[in-house]
Amino acid sequence: MEISFAGKGVLVTGAAAGIGKAIAEQFLQNGAAVFLVDFNPDLLQQTMTDWKRKFPSKVYGVTADLRQAPVAAATIVKQAAAAMGTLDVLVNNAGIYPSRFMLDLEESEWDAIFDLNVKGYFFMAQAVARYWVAFGKQGSIVNISSGAAANARPGAVTYAASKAAVVMLTKGLALEWIRKGIRVNAVGPGLIETEALLQSLNTPVAKAEHKEKISMIPAARTGRPSEIADAVLFLASDKARFIVGQNLFVDGGYTCGRVFCSKM
């Protein structure tokens, strides 16, 4: 099944590394112009420099702190639409995953997670939807949730709560906006082999814990960022035009149950 985004403009947040980078690159490979948003200016600039050689006149971007999304979102959307000449897809990917046990959690830490992982998603989606409605355009929004939305995790309760909120935000926005021609869906990654994950495996204990996590995945491996990108591109495309308000887990079967038998 071929999916083309030729002539389309795509805005991706958290796009300079990891899953967001894989998503943005795959949109580029399928013909789209892409507007990257990231908090890290050096990483963003390096990514844009590399891609502008491969995809001339298709790569744009801006550094932004999406914890300030109520203020920044409308400006980012205007910049993206002006740079690309069109704006057809939003991928909300920017997020943080701090590890903190709840007895030690401070209010400021709770707020930081929800400000980016939930409020950032909502205000970016609202700004894009307002743009589309104002200009009579249709569009697609794909939010990145997480397998954590379905499974509580000690040390990551606030993160899991924020991702569960993303799932319900996705459903609610989908219901409100589908008759305006705006589809909203989500993709929930499982354990994905990003640069950040690989860098975290720097001790024997971390490596042992990682091996144990993989043993509980029915597919018996970690996922690849490109596999999340595959799901995002499908949901953003016209091939998924009758899919509305869904959260698609891409996790090797982790959320459908645990594997306890090594002979499977």
**How high is the pLDDT of residue 159?**
94
Contacts of 190 (CB under 8 A, 6+ apart): 147, 217, 223, 249, 250, 251, 252, 254, 255
**How high is the pLDDT of residue 192?**
93
Catalytic residue among 60, 121, 131, 159: 159
**How high is the pLDDT of residue 260?**
56
pTM, two decimal places: 0.94
DSSP 47-83: HHHHHHHHSTT-EEEEE--GGGHHHHHHHHHHHHHHH
**What are the tens digits of pLDDT across the range 186-240?**
999 999 998 877 787 788 887 888 888 888 899 999 999 999 999 999 999 999 9
**What are the tens digits of pLDDT across the range 38-72?**
999 999 999 999 999 999 999 999 999 999 878 89
Q: What average pLDDT score do residues 62-88 get?
A: 95
Question: What distance in Å separates the CA atoms of residue 107 and residue 143, rounded to the nearest whole number?
Answer: 25
Does domain 9-193+225-251 match CATH 3.40.50.720? yes
Task: Tell me whether residue 159 is one of the annotated catalytic residues.
Answer: yes
Question: What distance in Å separates the CA atoms of residue 155 and residue 83, rounded to the nearest whole number?
Answer: 41
